[in-house]
Structure 1
Amino acid sequence: MKNKLLFRLSIFIGKVIFLGLQILGKQGTALPGKIALKIYPSILNDLSKKCEKIIVITGTNGKTTTNNLINHILNGKYENIVSNLKGANMIQGVVTSFIVNNKNKYEWGIFEVDEGSVPNVIEFITPNYMILTNFFRDQLDRYGEVDNTVKLVYDSLKSNDTTLIINADDPLNLKFDDLNNNKIYYGVEENNFSKKELSVAEAIFCVKCGKRLEYDYINYGNIGKFKCERCGAERVSLDYSVESIDMKDNSYEFLVKIHEKKKESFIFRYMGIYNIYNCLAAITFAVEIGLDLEYIKEKIENFEYKLGRMETINFPNKDVILVLSKNPVGLSEVLSTIAYDEDDKSVLFILNDEPADGKDISWIWDANIEEIADISSITNFYSSGMRSEEVSLRIKYAGFPEEKIKTFPSCKDNIKRSVKEILNDNQSKSYIIGTFTAMPKARKILIKEQKLE
């Protein structure tokens, strides 16, 4: 009886807090859940029982995009879905999603979960499916080296009832082969965008014996087809694979092969090879739960990005593309994507070091920034945020022309000033790269300016 009262009280207080935050113009994606957990620490256990089925998406990069893709696909087939679509991916964000969308029953619970928060979440729920995207160094001051993060997730998977959908191209995911769970593997074969050399040398040693891995090709970061010459560990056979990737009209056209039997071509209109992996993860899940392939194709091809993940905000005289970046592999791939764009453009990189971003910004020195040093189509590179001077220094040392670099010294309004500067330059396209706390601020300024125009 006491637990039932605490449960109801925590939901009520959470709703009140959410409504108050909405009045104040805040999103309220985490605080309602945080307070509810204080009142009733086991609330997630009770809430998760409302879901007929649950999928969890975890990993370093791609969680939010994959979550949004799966929501977009399932929303056309199911009425009652609960999900943390706005990227609040710790336990309080998961709880908040239930409080905001409070129903008696849900057909699906779809949650992205921060790698370090997986133990906290899995303590209270047993997902039917879990997608493992990739594991890179990210916020070293929070998690330490990436091996620690992988171990956190591995140790949390105590139930064999969870089917694992695993990115087989990440050598760190070999760790999960030891589990008895049902496993489905996806990956991308060698294609027009594959490389032979590593751009960011991390997690390139065998998780089985420690020897440096050999690669047939690399699609991004350390993601590709690998093998250990010492112990024989290698990328496993793929259940779902991308056979080829071509670029047409600023979109990717890629061919998916399913269980060595069926093939289907897809078009995705957002740049970045990492997005092909996000699409493939969503396609794998959707096919596995029995959805029609033609329906999945339609949903993938009409998907629209939001929340600063390759989101385009249109102005009369230019398009501004927002890209979240928070670790060396992510930043390297963003810059690689910009390098493929032949249009004249300006670039703004906003680097913050608030707790949510990670205080350690040494990762910008590990990113392959040198790739853009000789790109003449980048007319200006602006540096902003709390650590703007470090960005400019890194760009300078990468060999980018100093006369094209402009620094907005760290101060209260430097993000606003830098965003307005990029809106007023003479380019018809601009990219804004931002860390976790920087991106919402930049986006808010852009939306306000868009409304004014």
Structure 2
Amino acid sequence: MRYFALFLGKIIFFLLKILGRSGGSLPGKTAIRFCPDMLSYFKYPKITVLVTGTNGKTSTSNIIANIFKRAGYKTVSNSKGDNIINGITSLLIKNSNFAFEIMADALIIEVDELTLAKQLKNIKASDIVITNFFRDQLDRAGEMESIILKISKAMENYKGRLFLNEDDPNVKRFSKISKDIKIVSFSLDKEKNANMENFDAKEGKFCPICNGILEYEYYQYSHIGKYHCKNCDFKSDIPDYLGKNINYEDNTFEVEVSANSEKEFDEISNKKIEKYKTSINATYHIYNLVSALAVCKTYGISSDDINTVFKNFNLGIGRMEKINIGDKKILLNLVKNPTGCNEIIKYIGNNENEKALIFLLNDNHADGRDISWIWDVNFEQINNLKYAIITGKRAYEAAVRFKISNISENISVEKDIDKAIAKMLDTNMDMYVISTYTGLFDIRKKLLDFKA
């Protein structure tokens, strides 16, 4: 049955190509109906990297894939973020032969957290990268702790490498799963915007080993930072790859590599320090870059190839995306949970100019039905907001949140997206659009239509 499912998936790809469509997840969805465990039959490349976590997995996986391509590897990846079983199966069907062999030197797959927990047993992965864990879409995924326990269970027989964010205690805990797993850690040194206290929604209050209280030396953002448990020896340690000396003015940062990670080091310091250039200077993006660097350095890819990708990497649709309409400049951002939204709010808040903002809130299945997360977002940090235009299916609930935040005297609800855009463009302020997932592509298309 698996061969029939593979053949059927390829036929669907062929027919969709004739119709001028990309195919998306339909081939995989159809194939799985006939062969539910289809992922177990593919013959994976020796380099098969899975990237998971709440935030940053799309960017991180795309950075890794671009670096491998730059280094001359034939690379396959789900660059558009089709990260659940249907999309991943479609990716493999498209890039395999009829013997189920993946035709690539390197396979880089972004994987949804729940999908990883369910499908890891079927995927022969060489490496897994975990970026971070935050509360996200509680109605679909459940509480964060539930997801972590499911992934931990799935990794009991895993024998590859784990690339872990040392600054997230809920990721660090995976270093305790098994002695058979090779751990490679990454983190950032204390950066200039780090705080001694943090009032963001935090998931790192308690030790995941003994349930004691975690004390923080500082917070980079949310519960990400330097911590230790008051009751046991659980703490953030010196990582294998440390990002440091972030310069937000010239978009550069350094990476310090430990002696356990590479062979060539300064004889005195026993450390190797390299400088890199980045296209985006946000703290959360530097975490993505350092994690990608850790993976690629493990495979001996040169610093020159890595730096070339870092300098020119585009985050993609809805991720710090700049759209120009005449002389108007708009920054478009996708948000999915309070932590991601808070980081965007901080970025916007660093701009002292007068601002106009469209906030689009939907509650479709792909967004998550539960919108209570907007009450964990620090909208109050948007300074000098002169005009807030609220749209989307749950616009009125979002408007109440904005009203209570008391950040602007001019808050309006406009359910018609075209009119919302027109209202924003009628101002002479710095312009921002923040949207949940199902509204992103619609409002982006309308922005580009205005551009045309």
CA distance in 1, matches of 2:24, 2:352: 38
Aligned to 2:263: none
Say whether 1:34 aligns with 2:29: yes
- What is the CA–CA distance in structure 2 between the aligned matches of 1:128 and 1:423, rounded to whole Å? 49
Alignment of 1:315 onto 2:315: no
Q: Which residue of 2 aligns with 1:157?
A: 155
Query: Would the aligned equivalents of 2:5 and 2:32 in 1 still touch at CA under 8 Å?
Result: no
Query: What's the CA shift for 1:363?
Result: 0.4
User: By how many angstroms is 1:164 displaced?
Assistant: 0.3
The secondary structure found in structure 1 opposite 2:437 is coil
Structure 1's unaligned 5+ residue stretches are none
Partner of 1:275: 285
Please give the alpha-carbon distance, in whole angstroms, between the structure 2 residues aligned to 1:350 and 1:110: 32
1:142 pairs with one of 140, 157, 182: 140
Q: TM-score, normalised by structure 2?
A: 0.91
SS at match of 2:3: helix
Q: Does 1:172 align with 2:170?
A: yes
Matches within 5 A, 1:157-236: 157-179=155-177, 180=179, 181-203=181-203, 204-236=205-237
Candidates 405, 416, 424, aligned match of 2:418: 416
Following superposition, the deviation at residue 50 of structure 1 comes to 4.7
CA distance in 2, matches of 1:253, 1:222: 25
Match of 1:385 among 392, 396, 404: 392
Instruction: Name the SS for the 1:65 alignment partner.
Output: helix
Task: Name the TM-score, length of structure 1 as normaliser.
Answer: 0.91
Is residue 5–residue 31 contact of structure 2 (8 Å, CA) maintained in 1? no
Task: Give the 3-state SS of the residue equivalent to 1:60 in structure 2.
Answer: coil
Answering whether residue 84 of structure 2 is matched by residue 90 of structure 1, we say yes
CA distance in 2, matches of 1:276, 1:297: 13
CA distance in 2, matches of 1:353, 1:388: 10
CA contact under 8 A between 1:52 and 1:106: conserved in structure 2?
A: no
The alpha-carbon distance between structure 1 residues 314 and 391, as it changes in their structure 2 partners (threshold 3 A), is same
Judged with a 3 Å threshold, the aligned counterparts in structure 2 of structure 1 residues 18 and 87 are, in CA distance, closer, same or farther, namely: farther
Q: What letter matches 1:352 in structure 2?
A: N
Contact 1:83 1:94 in 2 (8 A): no
How far is 1:160 from its partner? 3.8
- Contact 1:55 / 1:127 at 8 angstroms: preserved in 2? yes
CA distance in 2, matches of 1:262, 1:201: 36
The alpha carbon displacement at 1:42 in A equals 3.2
* Cα offset, 1:158, TM superposition: 3.2
Residue 82 of structure 1 contacts residue 108 of structure 1 at CA under 8 Å; is this kept in 2? yes
TM-aligned CA distance change 1:12 to 1:365, over 3 Å: same
1:333 corresponds to which letter in structure 2?
E
- Residues 1:300 and 2:310 aligned together: yes
Q: Distance in 2 between matches of 1:201 and 1:10?
A: 43
Partner SS state of residue 127, structure 1: coil
Measured after TM superposition, the shift of residue 278 of structure 1 is 0.7
Bigger CA drift: 51-60 or 34-43? 34-43
> Residue type matched to 2:39 in 1?
L
Two-structure CA RMSD over aligned residues (Å): 1.9
Give the aligned partner of residue 267 of structure 2. none
Q: Give the partner amino acid of 2:81.
A: G
In the alignment, is residue 446 of structure 1 matched against residue 450 of structure 2? no
Mapped contact 2:129–2:163 kept (Cα < 8 A): yes
- Percent identical: 32
Partner in structure 2 of residue 348 of structure 1:
358
Shift of 1:19: 5.2
Going from structure 1 to structure 2, the CA distance change for 1:97 and 1:5 (only over 3 Å counts) comes to closer
Contact 2:74 2:104 in 1 (8 A): yes
Secondary structure at 1:96 match in 2: helix
Taking a change above 3 Å as real, the CA distance of residues 19 and 407 of structure 1, as seen in their structure-2 partners, is farther
Residue identity in the other structure for 1:381: A
Q: Which residue of 1 aligns with 2:276?
A: 266
Which residue of 2 is the match for residue 110 of structure 1? 108
Give the Å deviation of 1:14.
4.3
d(CA) in 1 for partners of 2:140 and 2:125? 25
Partner SS for 2:125: coil
C-alpha displacement of 1:102? 4.9
In the other structure, the counterpart of 1:44 is 39
Aligned-partner Cα distance in 1 for 2:321–2:149 = 33
Measure, in 2, the Cα distance between the counterparts of 1:129 and 1:117.
16
* Number of residue-to-residue matches in the alignment: 434
* Residue 92 of structure 1: how far off its partner (Å): 0.8
Q: Deviations over 1:133-175 (max 9, x none)?
A: 0010000111221100111211111334320000010011232
Whether the aligned pair in 1 keeps the contact of 2:46 and 2:126 (CA below 8 Å) is no
Displacement after TM superposition at 1:64 (Å): 0.7
Residue 239 of structure 1: aligned partner = 240
**Post-superposition offset of 1:18:** 6.1
Distance 1:449 1:79 in 2: 40
The 1:100–1:442 alpha-carbon spacing in structure 2 relative to 1, beyond 3 Å, is farther
Q: 1:330 aligns with which of 335, 340, 344?
A: 340
CA distance in 2: counterparts of 1:92 and 1:389, whole angstroms: 34
- Structure 2 SS opposite 1:51: coil
Equivalent-residue separation in structure 2 for 1:96 and 1:256 (angstroms)? 36
Q: Are the equivalent residues in 1 in contact too, given 2:363–2:370 (CA < 8 A)?
A: yes
Tell me if structure 2 keeps the 8 A contact 1:64–1:87: yes
1: distance between equivalents of 2:47 and 2:448? 36
